[in-house]
């Protein structure tokens, strides 16, 4: 990924330094790593699911962790820890050690993870705080200030 000069952003905005830091860190996270493949889907309005294809990994081989708004999924197979390696004639299933990171938004929480048919599903939910939820504002029909345009016309 290209590096961007964010200096103009800092000159003309206030309070967006976290956004600039996030953009900078995103360029470090996804540096050409494509294993394991994954999907991100929206299951409901505020619910999401990340599915990683991790054939050959068991739940003991995986570590899912959230720290400082970053979801980290790590995998290391037990077979790699064995002193005597297997001799494959052909190895098409990539079971190598991996680490995949996802930057989470401020109000996104991990609700759970399950391993099913070679897919690791991680369920996420965006929690909208009460002060950010839409609310109806009642409109009072009486106006406190009335501008009299006839008085200006009479004075002229």
State residue 28's pLDDT score: 53
Contacts of 86 (CB under 8 A, 6+ apart): 79
Kindly indicate whether the domain formed by 36-129 is annotated with CATH number 3.30.470.30.
Answer: no
Q: What is the pTM of this model?
A: 0.64
Instruction: Judge whether 48 and 42 are in contact, CB under 8 Å.
Output: yes
Lowest mean pLDDT among 45-49, 63-67, 69-73, 148-152: 148-152
The answer to whether residue 58 scores a pLDDT higher than 80 is yes
For the chain, residues classed under CATH 2.60.40.790 are 36-129
What's the whole-number mean pLDDT along residues 115-131?
90
Q: How do residues 70-120 score in pLDDT, each as one tens digit?
A: 999 999 977 555 666 778 888 787 778 899 999 888 889 999 999 999 899
Q: What separation in angstroms does the CA of 18 have from each of 10, 13, 14, 23, 55?
A: 11, 12, 10, 9, 36
Tell me the DSSP string of 62-117: EEEEEETTEEEEEE--GGGGSSS----S---S----EEEEEEPPTTEEEEEEEEET
pLDDT at residue number 96: 83
């Amino acid at each position: 990924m290209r590096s961007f000069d964010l200096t103009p952003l800092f000159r003309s905005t206030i309070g967006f330094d976290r956004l600039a830091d996030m953009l900078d860190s995103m360029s470090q996270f996804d540096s050409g790593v494509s294993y394991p493949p994954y999907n991100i889907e929206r299951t409901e309005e505020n619910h999401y699911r990340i599915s990683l294809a991790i054939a050959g990994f068991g739940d003991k081989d995986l570590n899912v962790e959230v720290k400082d708004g970053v979801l980290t999924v790590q995998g290391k197979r037990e077979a790699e820890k064995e002193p005597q390696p297997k001799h494959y004639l052909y190895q098409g299933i990539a079971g190598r050690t991996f680490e995949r990171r996802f930057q989470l938004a401020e109000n996104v929480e991990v609700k759970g993870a399950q391993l099913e048919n070679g897919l690791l599903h991680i369920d996420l939910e965006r929690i909208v705080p009460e002060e950010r939820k839409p609310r109806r504002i009642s409109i009072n029909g009486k106006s406190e200030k009335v501008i009299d345009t006839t008085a200006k016309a009479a004075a002229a």
